[in-house]
């Protein structure tokens, strides 16, 4: 399963699970022992290894067991046989398994190493297979342009002697990248590869293609098409006695939700509540994401108590399995449930927790993408991309200002410089809850973005100043190289600019003002960031108590 950055929900593109039939898991290990004893002739051992690798590369997501052990055994056997090409094939199988289980950076590193080896050795098959894995890695870190390039290469380099199932897998991966990019060529690609799977009589791959096409149709807003393909998915599964996994049922429900057919969406999801279906979730999320979708459908149908029970079970699974991304999205759904029963204070508090945790999650995800991209590429362009993701991890996604992580890194560095000419100011929007409650959270977000723009547009004396969003409606200004008078003048200009901004178009009759508390490094002997921010926060509190819409910078 792929997860969209920023906690926007799961991408239910099903992938070859890398599972293997338990009855053959030990076969390669047995051959290794025989090989070590000299009981198996090398040509026969190579033939057996080739058969194992063919099977590992084309395993269906519907098979049982795990292929990890077989891939590791295959790599060891290839080393004993002196076949580095076959060892590289086994490494790619293992890398794709790692990628599916969340180790994207490690998978990318292995795939890029194999790709370099294959390029130097002019091994077209390995170049195709490594591009296949790199497509998925880049897709998961959001580099759809890079993913598309490798997806096309993985098909061009695969010659006509490749196994039909393998060719289908490569073509599906290209269709998936196009689908996620909302490219108009995606439907045609899915149609062509589905025809190949039908000709091959491969039901598992037909189900996977229909699921992925229905999902990408929902992304593109083609809900009629999504419904048509999710209907075919269900019909095919019934015809062959294949129970749909929770990921497939989630796709069906999402298509129905897009068409506002909520009763049918809930009925589809209820099929996944059977213990043998829910507990067998192969998406690595213990069914938590599926339950979150069900809770949303139940809430939208007015079944608030039932939705709360479902969401509580989702949260329990998130906490049990450390599913941070789903837990963050569950907070947004919890806020909606509070609002549905009229508890707007609880909804607001839960929304604040959601926003705070979402910011942290997005920063962590950007850091992870930077590491993954650096693992894949060792070029100047890759380093540039890595720096870009690093910079994004230090930015607040709503306002574009720096976030708390940047403050925690930069403020100690500035204080370590030993200058007393450093001011910090905490600014908080006055009565901001009224904006959210009266006008909506969407309007509140626009207000925050507008304030952030004002903070950046008003030039500060000196150099190196920056603004940051600390969370919620609280901002920070860091003003290095500035004296007391200039600091007071600048902060008053900021306060006046916010108060004088034409807010009526956004908030109607509600005013938007800020209170500020400021502190100088010169006021505290050997100040730490916590001491300086603490002093500014105390003065912010005084500004609030004194009537708001004012700056307190002394006393």
Local mean pLDDT, 10-residue blocks, the chain (555 residues):
36 51 38 49 81 82 61 89 91 88 84 89 91 89 84 88 91 92 89 94 93 91 92 94 88 92 93 78 71 94 94 91 86 94 92 87 73 60 55 80 89 82 94 91 92 91 87 93 91 95 91 96 89 94 95 89
As a whole number of angstroms, the distance between CA 26 and CA 67 comes to 10
Q: Output the pLDDT for position 145.
A: 82
Q: Position of tokens 């963050």? A: 328
Of 59, 140, 70, 64, the C-alpha closest to 99 is: 140
As a whole number of angstroms, the distance between CA 171 and CA 176 comes to 9
As a whole number of angstroms, the distance between CA 58 and CA 78 comes to 19
CA 168 to chain centre: 26
As a whole number of angstroms, the distance between CA 66 and CA 512 comes to 58
DSSP state of 395: B
Report H helices in 341-440: 344-376, 380-393, 404-416, 432-439
Q: Output the pLDDT for position 147.
A: 87
**Dihedral sign of CA atoms 226, 335, 141, 246 in order:** negative
Task: Kindly report the number of other CB atoms within 10 A of residue 417's CB atom.
Answer: 11
As a whole number of angstroms, the distance between CA 162 and CA 128 comes to 11
Which tokens belong to 439? Answer: 């006008």
DSSP state of 422: E
Task: Kindly report the number of other CB atoms within 10 A of residue 84's CB atom.
Answer: 14
Task: Kindly report the number of other CB atoms within 10 A of residue 314's CB atom.
Answer: 28
CA 416 to chain centre: 36
Provide the β-strand partners of residue 333: none
Asked if 35 and 26 touch (Cβ cutoff 8 Å), the reply is no
Specify the 3-state DSSP secondary structure of 159. coil
Q: Output the pLDDT for position 280.
A: 66
Which tokens belong to 42? Answer: 């090398």
Asked if 158 and 167 touch (Cβ cutoff 8 Å), the reply is yes
Active site residue 140: no
Phi and psi at 280, nearest 5°, equal -95, 15
Asked if 133 and 92 touch (Cβ cutoff 8 Å), the reply is yes
| Kind plus residue range of the DSSP H or E element containing 308 | helix 304-321
Length in residues, the chain: 555
| Kind plus residue range of the DSSP H or E element containing 252 | helix 246-258
Is the pTM higher than 0.75?
A: no
Q: What does DSSP say about strands 422-429 and 2-3: parallel, antiparallel, or unpaired? A: unpaired
Of 417, 377, 476, 420, the C-alpha closest to 147 is: 377
| Kind plus residue range of the DSSP H or E element containing 476 | strand 474-480
Q: Which of 264, 473, 474, 492 is flagged as catalytic?
A: 473
Q: Output the pLDDT for position 4.
A: 31
Q: Output the pLDDT for position 6.
A: 34
Which superfamily, per CATH, for 404-552? Reverse transcriptase/Diguanylate cyclase domain (3.30.70.270)
For 29, 45, 74, the CA distances from 41, given in Å and listed in that order, are: 16, 6, 16
């Amino acid at each position: 399963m792929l997860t969209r950055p920023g906690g926007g929900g799961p991408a239910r593109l099903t992938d070859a699970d890398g599972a293997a039939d338990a009855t053959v898991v030990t076969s390669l290990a047995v051959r290794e022992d025989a090989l070590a004893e000299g009981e198996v002739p090398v040509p026969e051992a190579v033939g057996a290894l080739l058969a194992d690798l063919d099977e590992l590369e084309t395993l269906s997501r519907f098979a049982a067991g795990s292929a990890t052990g077989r891939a590791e055994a295959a790599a060891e056997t290839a080393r004993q046989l002196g076949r580095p090409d076959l060892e590289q094939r086994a490494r790619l199988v293992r890398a794709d398994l790692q990628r599916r289980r969340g180790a994207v950076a490690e998978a990318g590193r292995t795939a890029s190493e194999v790709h370099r080896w294959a390029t130097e050795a002019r091994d077209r098959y390995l170049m195709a297979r490594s591009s296949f894995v790199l497509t998925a890695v880049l897709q998961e870190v959001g580099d759809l342009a890079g993913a598309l390039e490798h997806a096309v290469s993985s098909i061009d380099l695969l010659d006509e002697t490749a196994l039909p199932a393998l060719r289908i897998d490569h073509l599906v991966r290209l269709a998936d990248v196009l689908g996620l990019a909302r490219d108009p060529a995606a439907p045609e690609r899915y149609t062509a590869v589905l025809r190949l799977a039908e000709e091959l009589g491969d039901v598992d791959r037909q189900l996977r293609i229909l699921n992925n096409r229905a999902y990408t149709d929902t992304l593109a807003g083609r809900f009629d098409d999504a419904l048509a393909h999710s209907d075919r998915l269900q019909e095919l599964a019934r015809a062959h006695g294949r129970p749909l996994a929770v990921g497939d049922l989630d796709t069906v429900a999402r298509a129905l939700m897009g068409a506002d057919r909520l009763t049918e969406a809930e009925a589809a999801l209820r099929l996944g509540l059977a213990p043998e279906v829910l507990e067998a979730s192969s998406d690595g999320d213990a069914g938590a994401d599926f339950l979150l979708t069900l809770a949303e459908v139940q809430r939208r149908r007015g079944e608030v108590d039932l939705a709360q029970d479902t969401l509580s079970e989702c949260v329990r699974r998130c906490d049990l399995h450390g599913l941070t991304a789903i837990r963050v999205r569950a907070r947004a759904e919890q806020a909606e449930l509070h609002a549905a029963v009229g508890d707007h204070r609880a909804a607001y508090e839960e929304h604040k927790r959601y926003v705070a945790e979402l910011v942290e999650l997005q920063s962590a995800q950007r850091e992870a993408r930077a590491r993954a991209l650096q693992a894949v590429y060792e070029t100047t362009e890759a380093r540039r991309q890595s720096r870009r993701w690093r910079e994004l991890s230090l930015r607040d996604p709503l306002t574009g200002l720096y976030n708390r992580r940047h403050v925690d890194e930069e403020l100690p560095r500035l204080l370590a410089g030993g200058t007393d000419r450093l001011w910090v100011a905490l600014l908080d929007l006055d009565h901001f809850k009224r904006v959210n409650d009266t006008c909506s959270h969407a309007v509140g977000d626009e207000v925050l973005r507008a304030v952030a723009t004002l903070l950046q547009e008003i030039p500060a004396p000196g150099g190196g100043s920056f603004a940051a969003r600390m969370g919620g409606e609280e901002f920070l200004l860091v003003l290095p190289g500035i004296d007391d008078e200039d600091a007071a003048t600048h902060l008053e200009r900021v306060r006046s600019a916010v108060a004088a901004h034409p807010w009526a178009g956004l908030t109607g009759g509600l005013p938007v003002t800020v209170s500020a508390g400021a502190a100088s490094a010169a006021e505290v002997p050997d100040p730490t960031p916590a001491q300086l921010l603490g002093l500014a926060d105390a003065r912010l509190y005084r500004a609030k108590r004194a009537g708001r819409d004012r700056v307190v910078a002394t006393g």
